[in-house]
Amino acid sequence: MGIRDSSLTRVKPLFDFIGSDVEKLNRLFGFFKSNISKIEENSIIEIRYGDNEKKVPPPRSLLIWMLQNLKELNEVKNFGVDNVDSETYQKRKDLFSGDKKIVDDAIQIIQSKTKLPDRAWYIFEGKTHPDIFIETKDSIFVGEAKRTEKDITTTTKWLNKRDQLIRHIDSVLDQPKKIYSFYILDKNEYLKGYYRERMKLYSKKEYYEENLRHRDDLSIKKAMNSFFGFIFWEDIAEYFKIKFPDKL
């Protein structure tokens, strides 16, 4: 993280101010034009941000899809392994050479393990870290904060089309709770043209389909319906009378 990182200079001051105050949280979400159900008192399970960001594992359906569609993955030097003498290197080499038994073994591990490790020879996507993660008894909110960055993140090491916010959505999509996703942006950067076209993509079903090739139509619609828009740091600062630091 740099000294101008939005997580430290914007997200942390904002949510340190909000804390677990439901009234303030509902006032914040009132900035969005979409109709968002109000958060009820005593319904918050956790709020994670800043140095305590939530680390959410990828869905197993994605990990299995990647194993079943290895030709769709990016070519990565040494299969993403530093030590070419390691078991991980050899296993991945066998995977990409078309060894069906190795593929079946990897899928069986993913399906049977109660908890998957962060890294393993059969895992090709790591945990995702939403800038803002709020879970209540009936809802999950995942948000991304942008300030000086000129674009959103749209790729991972192994996939060319893997939008950062959609990754967050995907990681919680299997839960029965209502999912909400959003951005908080810098107004000046937005007015310069940054993000403007990107924000339009979240209303296009085909964009979600490109980023969620392991999902069925119902799940894709749920992901798309989760997005309720974006607001600006400048408006939040004025409304809550918060003086955000330019740098740390």
pLDDT tens digits, 45-93: 999 999 999 999 999 999 999 999 999 999 999 999 999 999 999 999 9
Residue 243 in 3-state DSSP?
A: coil
* pLDDT confidence of residue 248: 62
pTM listed for this prediction: 0.94
d(CA 241, CA 239): 6
State yes or no: pLDDT of 4 exceeds 70.
Answer: no
* Alpha carbon distance 181, 173 (integer Å): 11
Q: Report the first-to-last Cα separation within the chain, whole angstroms.
A: 11
* 3-state secondary structure at position 135: strand
Q: What is the pLDDT of residues 8-48, one digit of tens each?
A: 999 999 999 999 999 999 999 999 988 888 999 999 999 99
Domain boundaries, the chain: 6-56+129-240, 60-112
Question: What pLDDT does residue 3 have?
Answer: 46
Average pLDDT of span 228-234: 96
* Percent with pLDDT over 90 in the chain: 88
Closest CA to 123 of 156, 168, 152, 166: 156
